Amino acid sequence: MMALLFVILLFTVVLAWLDQRKLALGCFSILILLATLYFYHHMYVELNLQL
Amino acid sequence: MNMNENTRLFQILFISHIVIFIGILLILLVAFGWQIILYQLPCPLCLLQRIGFFCMAFGLLMNMRFGFRPSHYAIILISAMYTSLVALRQITLHILPGTDSPNSTIFHWHLYTWSFIAANIIIILTTLMLSLDQQYQTNIISSRLKLSKIFFVILILMIIINFVGVIFECGLGACPVIPTHYLLLAGH
């Protein structure tokens, strides 16, 4: 999952490098959404472990 | 505001972007150096903070490459807020006596504390920069295209190095909550 986030990040930056601004912005939106989901998932798992 | 003042504003903003970008690169280099030299593997929250810093650098480069736009500043702000939130979560995990992180510190503070401070400084600086209305009225096209392209290549290389590190540490699945060794090297 973390590897997937880095792949999307790489894809986003490469798209911007290739002057595909709108596609890069779209990829960034997906990336920040997935990163937020991963964060909440991680927090949920940790809270369960503590309980 | 005349053309000369616009040009000066553009130059000041461009230099500010370069300085912040280099600062972010240094943070990421220190974090990766920590991982390689001291063999202190990053936890999932640490890796999420790295992604946040990469996204901030991406937002800065978008401004340098495509011109100053509110949407690019929004990328920096949302990434900095995300990093700040993740770092704050990590601080609260280790806030009680006896729950201190075993990892090394810099000037008595852990990396996640520095990450929280850095993210908040970037939020303040970005807010100040985006509030300058004149930058959106100017039609100056970046003549420093080559420089931004070079920065893009540096950022891409940094992401690839970190990606390889993640693959070695976590494989393709979810990262362990407390990583102790590289999963891919475990069999050797």
Burial classification of residue B1, based on how many CB atoms lie within 10 Å of its CB (0-12 exposed, 13-18 middle, 19 or more buried): exposed
Output the average pLDDT for chain B. 88
Domains within chain B, CATH numbers bracketed: 3-185 (1.20.1550)
Using one digit for the tens of pLDDT, what is the confidence trace for A22-49?
Answer: 999 999 999 999 999 999 988 887 766 6
The pLDDT-based confidence of B25 (bands split at 50, 70, 90) is very high
Strand, helix or coil at B184?
Answer: helix
Q: For B30-68, b where at least 16 C-beta lie within 10 A, e where not — what string?
A: ebbebbeeeebbbbbbbbbbbbbbbbbbbbbbbbbbbbb
A33 close contact with B: CB closer than 8 A: no
The token duo for A10 is: 């790489």
Res A49: pLDDT = 64
Residue B91: name the closest of B109, B74, B108, B67 by CA: B109
Whole-number Å distance between alpha carbons of A11 and A19? 12
Q: Residue B143: is its pLDDT beyond 80?
A: no
Cβ contacts of B47 on chain A, cutoff 8 Å: 2
Q: Stretch A2-11: mean pLDDT, rounded?
A: 94
Residue B110's CB: how many other CB atoms inside 10 A?
Answer: 19
Q: Is A44 on the interface with B (CB under 8 A)?
A: no
Q: Is the pLDDT of residue B111 over 80?
A: yes
Q: Is B167 on the interface with A (CB under 8 A)?
A: yes
- For A36, the domain range is 2-50
Share of chain B above pLDDT 70, in %: 94
Query: Across the interface, do A3 and B172 touch by the CB < 8 Å criterion?
Result: yes
Q: Is the pLDDT of residue B188 over 60?
A: no
pTM of the model: 0.92
How many structural domains is chain A composed of? 1
Euclidean distance between CA atoms B106 and B110, whole angstroms: 6
Reported ipTM = 0.92
